[in-house]
Structure 1
Amino acid sequence: MRIIRLTAFLAMGLGSIIAANAHAASTYAQTKYPVVLAHGMFGWDTMLGSVDYWYGIPGDLRDNGGTVYTTQVSGLESSEARGEQLLLQVKQVLAITGKSRVNLIGHSHGGHSVRYVAAAIPNQVASVTGMASPVKGAPLADLIVNGDKAGEVGTQVLQGLGSILNFIAGGKDLPVSANKSLVSLSSAGSAAFNAKYPQGVPKTACGEGAYQVNGVKYFSFGGTSQVTNVLDILDIPMKLTSLAFAKGEKNDGMVGKCSAHLGKVIRDDYDMNHIDFMNHVFGLRAMGTDPKTIYRGQLNRLKNSGL
């Protein structure tokens, strides 16, 4: 049933995208293949009818000629389960647009999802871009997974929060599992995932991975700040979660600088925290750093690469 509804949603989205592109301000982000955005943990497409996960980013890309689709998978689930859900939606985008390939961009846990899809259908994926994605795991997930009784309580709290978010974001028919999500994002879980899907994963602790595998180009971006705007209510949680990292380890509050590396590292030290890569809360960020510019620049990079 969800696939039928999603197909209708994408069909309507295609019409709006065509209309937007017809009046695009420029062709700066006009890639050869459509772009599919995959959200991270606790993510959504549009919540309460107006709150977008990717605040202002898809619209900006479309204004600059991009053909962009947002997706929705389980906010909390295993990397493989989320990847399978995304795979179905990518196939629908391919069918609706008539294009032979797509460019995939994943934020946070969405980076695992897009890598899964690229491994499953490499001939239909032109590129994979990880935005603050924990390729080698997240310390906070390790703390909860290995936290005994306290970890169990933390997991139950996340399960409840995930179920609520899934419901208000229109994903009530999607499975929710905080435990599977945390295990997937732990160091051990990420290592197991990387062993199955090694494409683009660096072989050294803080190096780059293969730039191209099976015809798919791999890119990544990351940040190293936690508090970037005093008005942003989520900066404080980012500062607190950063305490899970070893002293002196650079991170964005959730993902370490080196853990975000995948394929060609475009930049890994933006003055941005983990939430800033979604352009939330409502565009509050550090002065001189605009997430929309980063995404727009990446699409221009893909365009210039013939993708």
Structure 2
Amino acid sequence: LVAYPDLAPAAAAGEPLVPVLESSQGEAAVVALEVPRSGEFALHVAPLDDEAGGTYDLELRCLSGCERETTRFPTVWVHGWTGFENIGPLEYFFGVRDHIEPLGYPLSVAVLDPYNSSEVRGGQLAEQVDEFMVEWRARKIDLIGHSQGGIDSRYVISTLGYGDRVSALLTIASPHHGTYITDLALGLAPGAAEEALSFLLNLLGAVTAQAKSDAKASFYSLSEAYMEGEFNPQNPDDPGVHYISYTGRTCAAIDFLDPKKMCNDYVDPLIVLGYDILKVARGPNDGLVTIESAMWGEFRGEMIADHIDEVGQIGGITDADFDHL
């Protein structure tokens, strides 16, 4: 009997992946098996009669599609603010699916509330991870989170106990130590709160009362006060998960007058105010998150990109020195 572990009972009842094999002890049997994706798979090999016992020597050989690239486990991509999988021709992770799927990489894209607390978004993500794992017949998955998506993923791993189902978490510009601009907007730090709040609400397109309420819940979830005072102590890293982080760094036009500050990326006009606020208060940043705050686990460095460029927006147009793919 050869079957996927979750289908072993049904296979024993007459629905195996391949016809039940009949061979005498010591004889070799050849099984041709076509799997639906690249990467790691678990197969259940057992005698039909549970009491029969048996030992097996297995040899695996790839016959077709052997050139396909893959990660060991499927990847689940988790968006940040105002996220989506598709809006018309636009994808949040612009062009990523079309670029890596043909190479062989199995991936799914989570669709969460555009903005809300990490507790709410994390619950939504956990439900979708369960569905993706069944869809991919995966023992584990890798999470890739941009911005708040990385914080939501940490919540799923630690608070919701998904460390046994997640092999690695890769975060891109996630504010692991909070982002000062949300503290400012909510009045948790002294300064121009009204200006910061208006900037963030306009950036997110939050115009209705409910949207503004959800947006403020998201802002609090990403504040320095909450991340350092509550979230990080309550969500320690799972020792069984590999944590990796990247982030972007951008500059304003005036920075190019000083070679020491020049970084070869012009901040997008949409987030230039965020860049200016963070630069003065906290230092180098990507327009919404500082480099220091984005560091978590194994930090692999900076990209020449602002927060929008990092995922190929808008519509795949990024600065000439940065190709997000």
* Same fold (TM > 0.5): yes
Find the counterpart in structure 2 of residue 150 from structure 1. 194
Structure with greater helix share of residues = 1
Find the counterpart in structure 1 of residue 100 from structure 2. 61
- Aligned pair count reads 247
Counterpart code for 2:178 = G
**Does structure 1 retain, via aligned residues, the 8 Å contact 2:186–2:197?**
no
**Does structure 1 retain, via aligned residues, the 8 Å contact 2:184–2:192?**
no
Q: How far does residue 161 in structure 1 lie from its aligned partner after superposition?
A: 2.0
Determine if the alignment matches structure 1 residue 196 to structure 2 residue 234: yes
Cα distance in 2 for partners of 1:100, 1:19 equals 13
Among 256, 270, 283, the alignment partner of 1:237 is 270
Q: Percent identity?
A: 26
Q: How far does residue 131 in structure 1 lie from its aligned partner after superposition?
A: 0.6
**Does structure 1 retain, via aligned residues, the 8 Å contact 2:79–2:110?**
yes
Among 41, 54, 58, the alignment partner of 2:81 is 41
Among 99, 114, 117, the alignment partner of 2:156 is 117
Find the counterpart in structure 2 of residue 7 from structure 1. none
Find the counterpart in structure 1 of residue 114 from structure 2. 75
Find the counterpart in structure 1 of residue 242 from structure 2. 217
Among 212, 217, 224, the alignment partner of 1:180 is 217
Q: 1:149 to 1:219 in 2, by over 3 A?
A: closer
1:257-279 C-alpha deviation (Å, 9 max, x unpaired): 11101110111x21110011111
1:70-114 C-alpha deviation (Å, 9 max, x unpaired): 111111111111111101000110112111100000000001111
Q: How far does residue 115 in structure 1 lie from its aligned partner after superposition?
A: 1.0
Counterpart code for 1:88 = E
1:132-175 C-alpha deviation (Å, 9 max, x unpaired): 111111122111111687279639945982478xxxxxxx9x99
Cα distance in 2 for partners of 1:156, 1:257 equals 19
Find the counterpart in structure 2 of residue 287 from structure 1. 320
Q: 1:276 to 1:25 in 2, by over 3 A?
A: farther
Find the counterpart in structure 2 of residue 135 from structure 1. 176
Q: 1:151 to 1:184 in 2, by over 3 A?
A: farther
Among 89, 93, 96, the alignment partner of 2:132 is 93
| SS in structure 2 of the partner of residue 177 of structure 1 | helix
Query: Higher RCO, 1 or 2 (CA under 8 Å, sep at least 6)?
Result: 1
Cα distance in 2 for partners of 1:215, 1:189 equals 25
**Does structure 1 retain, via aligned residues, the 8 Å contact 2:265–2:304?**
no
For structure 2, the residue ranges without an aligned partner over 5 or more in a row are: 1-35, 40-63, 253-263
Greater CA radius of gyration, 1 or 2? Answer: 2
Query: What TM-score, normalized to structure 1?
Result: 0.72
Q: 1:140 to 1:285 in 2, by over 3 A?
A: same
| SS in structure 2 of the partner of residue 43 of structure 1 | coil
